[in-house]
């Protein structure tokens, strides 16, 4: 079976999933007319040390709650079901085996993560397994990537408002998506939860409630699950 519609794939530790992740999925969906975006929590972060402090089950439960906020979002436990670290190349090959054609697959990353692409397993061959879509992240504009990764500059293409992608291309591309996303990180959310500060405006309300109900990241179950939006107070 071949799944012949464009599919985005957003992997991450999602510890927890937050509005920055959802903004990336939303921007890519609209820029590229994606039929769906798979949200894939990773089993272990292979590229960078992360103090993953929620269990895989809790991370997946939060991703499932967040996916309910947008009909394009589909939670996937593909990486959680595998043993060992989650390498993007393995994930993309597993998706090919499941019927996703590489020309219809768009692997989404933030610009901060993509800037480290040379460290990824099977680089540069991994780039041939899907199109890549790199979204700006506060502090890492996509316009800096050609300079940071000169070897990939010829493959990069700034996505215009129309988001047209020729289907007869001979090579998968690296699309740069210069779309604003909120200045949110899972690290900051974990710190805020630990400190008993509000998470409203940083995560969907359902995820906020889940974090408190389960006491994740040291959050106190009795603390208010809502409050004044935290966005804008993150770096006070």
CB of 168 to ligand ATP, least distance (A): 29
Q: Please give the order of strands across the beta sheet that includes 105-110.
A: 73-75, 36-41, 7-12, 105-110, 131-135, 174-177, 156-158
User: Which lies closer to ligand ATP via its Cβ, residue 166 or residue 195?
Assistant: 195
CB of 18 to ligand ATP, least distance (A): 6
CB of 165 to ligand ATP, least distance (A): 20
Sole residue written with tokens 């966005």:
231
User: Which lies closer to ligand ATP via its Cβ, residue 76 or residue 186?
Assistant: 186
Q: Strand ranges (DSSP E) for 57-163?
A: 73-75, 105-110, 131-135, 156-158
Q: Which residues pair with 105 in a beta bridge?
A: 7
Q: Which residues pair with 132 in a beta bridge?
A: 107, 174
CB of 4 to ligand ATP, least distance (A): 26
**Residue 124, preceding peptide bond in cis (omega within 30° of 0):** yes
**Residue 16, preceding peptide bond in cis (omega within 30° of 0):** yes
User: Which lies closer to ligand ATP via its Cβ, residue 8 or residue 182?
Assistant: 182
User: Which lies closer to ligand ATP via its Cβ, residue 100 or residue 114?
Assistant: 114
User: Which lies closer to ligand ATP via its Cβ, residue 133 or residue 165?
Assistant: 133
CB of 166 to ligand ATP, least distance (A): 25
Residues of this chain that interact with ligand ATP (CB under 6 A) are 12-15, 20-21, 24, 50, 109-110, 112-113, 135, 137, 181-182, 184-187
C-beta of residue 162 within 8 angstroms of C-beta of residue 170: no
């Amino acid at each position: 079976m071949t799944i012949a519609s464009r599919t985005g794939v957003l992997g991450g530790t999602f510890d927890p999933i937050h509005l920055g992740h959802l903004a990336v999925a939303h921007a890519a969906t609209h820029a590229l007319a994606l039929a769906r975006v798979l949200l894939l929590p990773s089993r272990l972060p292979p590229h960078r040390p992360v103090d993953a402090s929620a269990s895989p089950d809790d991370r997946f439960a939060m991703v499932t709650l967040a996916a309910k906020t947008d009909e394009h979002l589909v939670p996937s436990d593909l990486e959680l079901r595998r043993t060992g670290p989650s390498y993007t190349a393995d994930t993309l090959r597993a998706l090919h085996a499941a019927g996703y054609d590489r020309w219809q697959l768009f692997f989404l990353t933030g610009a901060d993560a993509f800037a480290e692409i040379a460290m990824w397993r099977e680089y540069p061959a991994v780039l041939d397994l899907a199109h890549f879509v790199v979204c700006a992240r506060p502090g890492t504009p996509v316009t800096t990537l050609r300079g940071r990764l000169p070897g990939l500059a010829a493959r990069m293409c700034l996505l215009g408002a129309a988001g047209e992608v020729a289907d007869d291309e001979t090579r998968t591309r690296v699309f740069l998506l210069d779309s604003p996303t909120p200045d949110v990180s899972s690290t900051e959310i974990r710190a805020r939860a630990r400190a008993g500060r509000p998470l409203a405006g940083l995560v969907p309300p359902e995820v906020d409630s889940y974090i408190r109900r389960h006491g994740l990241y040291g959050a106190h179950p009795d603390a208010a699950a809502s409050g004044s939006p935290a966005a804008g107070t993150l770096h006070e």
